[in-house]
């Protein structure tokens, strides 16, 4: 078997992930079609911006590459020097729903469909009491092997488990959909198996399914939870 394909976080991004265990001033998202799902309440798909109380904001998105007959992905954390906060919706202030840009029918200018359309923005309770101060950040790392004769393998940092002030985790999980989107789960729910392998799993919610490999019976999929040291920060 060749050395596993490496999609773990580079050192600067790992430091940014560790630095998320800190007070947050806001948690923002890009509104739009497909943000919520009627069959998966409490799950949101977008790219996100975390604004710590101190330091630069961090954009959270997916980085995907084609390999081994599919799309592999990891979470990506990029520093933002500046951004248009008014264009984004807020989990801390749900009344702030952001702006969705689209071309007008004559393509002469931009119009802004209302992000108040069902499923285009967050309409739940404020998450500030939970995520205004994040106590712990952990990496969700997948280790996958496959093949019968010519065995292959990869390791990828798929997401983050963030423990809020209430002691309960929420998840940010990279998804290989081509739009750099990440899934945010307010509560682990069906995704509990990703952070607690001993948790019972309903049919269709095994680790393989949760990570998007349900149609790949040739793969062996394991998950490792890696605590990140708090107090570290990257630019």
pLDDT tens digits along 1-12: 567 899 999 999
Going by pLDDT thresholds of 50, 70 and 90, the confidence category of residue 230 is confident
pLDDT of the residue at 214: 85
Cβ neighbours of residue 99 closer than 8 Å, sequence gap 6 or more:
31, 86, 87, 112, 115
Give the pLDDT of residue 109: 61
Confidence of residue 231 (pLDDT cuts 50, 70, 90): low
> At 160, is the secondary structure helix, strand, or coil?
strand
Q: Hey, where are the domains in the chain?
A: 5-227
Rounded average pLDDT over 102-123: 72
The answer to whether residue 235 scores a pLDDT higher than 70 is no
Q: Please state, rounded to an integer, the average pLDDT across all residues of the chain.
A: 88
Q: Which of 54-63, 97-106, 159-168 has the lowest mean pLDDT?
A: 97-106
Q: What is the pLDDT of residue 150?
A: 80
CB atoms within 10 A of CB 1: 9
Tokens of 94: 């749900």
Count other C-beta atoms under 10 Å from residue 178's C-beta.
10
Q: What is the pLDDT of residues 189-216, one digit of tens each?
A: 889 989 987 888 777 778 888 998 888 8
Q: What is the pLDDT of residues 1-47, one digit of tens each?
A: 567 899 999 999 999 999 999 999 999 999 998 899 887 889 999 99
Query: Residue 234: which of 62, 50, 56, 81 has the closest Cα?
Result: 56
Residue range 175-202: mean pLDDT, rounded: 87
**CA gap 216, 71 in Å, rounded:** 12
pTM of the entire structure?
Answer: 0.90
The mean pLDDT of 58-76, rounded to a whole number, is 91
Average of per-residue pLDDT across 179-195: 91
Distances (CA, A) of 65 to 4, 74, 155, 178, 234: 15, 9, 13, 9, 25
pLDDT for the residue numbered 49? 98
């Amino acid at each position: 078997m060749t050395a596993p394909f490496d999609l773990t976080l580079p050192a600067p991004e790992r430091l940014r992930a560790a630095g998320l265990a800190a007070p947050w001033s806001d948690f923002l998202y890009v509104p739009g079609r497909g943000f919520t799902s009627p069959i998966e309440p409490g799950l949101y798909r977008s790219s996100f911006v975390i604004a710590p109380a101190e330091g630069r904001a961090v954009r959270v998105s997916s980085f995907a590459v084609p390999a081994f007959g599919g799309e592999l992905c990891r979470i990506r954390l990029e520093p933002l020097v500046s951004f248009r906060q008014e264009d984004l919706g807020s989990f801390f202030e749900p009344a702030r729903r952001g702006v969705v840009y689209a071309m007008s029918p004559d393509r002469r200018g931009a119009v802004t469909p209302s992000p108040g359309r069902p499923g285009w923005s967050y309409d739940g309770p404020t998450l500030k009491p939970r995520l205004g101060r994040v106590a712990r950040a952990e990496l969700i790392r997948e280790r996958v092997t496959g093949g019968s004769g010519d065995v292959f393998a990869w390791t990828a940092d798929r997401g983050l488990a963030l423990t809020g002030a209430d002691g309960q985790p929420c998840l940010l999980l990279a998804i290989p959909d081509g739009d750099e989107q990440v899934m945010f789960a307010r509560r682990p729910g069906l995704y509990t198996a990703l952070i607690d392998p001993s948790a019972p799993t309903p049919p269709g919610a095994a680790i393989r399914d949760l990570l998007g490999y349900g149609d790949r019976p040739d793969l062996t999929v394991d998950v490792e939870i890696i605590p990140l040291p708090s107090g570290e920060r990257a630019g």
